Amino acid sequence: MASFLEVTKQINPSSMKKITLIAFFSMLGMLLSIQNSSAQVVVETKPTPPEQYMIPPPKPGMGYVLIPGHWVWSRQNKMYVWVVPGWVPQKEDQVWRPGYWKEVPRGWKWVPGHWERIDKKKWFTR
């Protein structure tokens, strides 16, 4: 039986590059399909947030940004669940863009909030 080192010595460099590229693109494809599968959840009617969770907690101090209450898909429950508003530390040179419901052909899809980098030159030279 050949050892691992003996087998790898028999593979020429161009074959190794091909194997590496195939492995890389396979992993990339799997990661993208996982991301897309969770992003494709569509509901017929967009849920309304529970009223009792609309009031945010007090701000803990300077340098915090309020992330509004938002929806998250629960794979376990197979439904959107409400996450209460909360304060998070401000990210440098970024602004929080809240999530929103987007109407799609078969119903509604939640587009999650995200941090977006700001261009200081564009922002402050107006």
Same domain (yes/no): 116, 55: yes
pLDDT above 70 (res 125)? no
Residue 104 has a pLDDT of 93
Q: Count how many domains the chain has.
A: 2
Q: Do residue 20 and residue 61 come from a single domain? A: no
pLDDT tens, residue by residue, 90-100: 999 999 999 99
pTM of the model: 0.55
Best CA proximity match to 43, nearest among 82, 74, 80: 80
Higher pLDDT, 65 or 48: 65
**72 and 21 fall within a common domain:** no
User: In the predicted model, what is the mean pLDDT of the chain?
Assistant: 74
Is 44 a member of any domain?
A: no
Does 46 fall in a domain?
no
Same domain, 81 and 118: yes
Does 120 lie in the same domain as 58?
A: yes
Mean pLDDT, range 89-110, rounded to an integer: 92
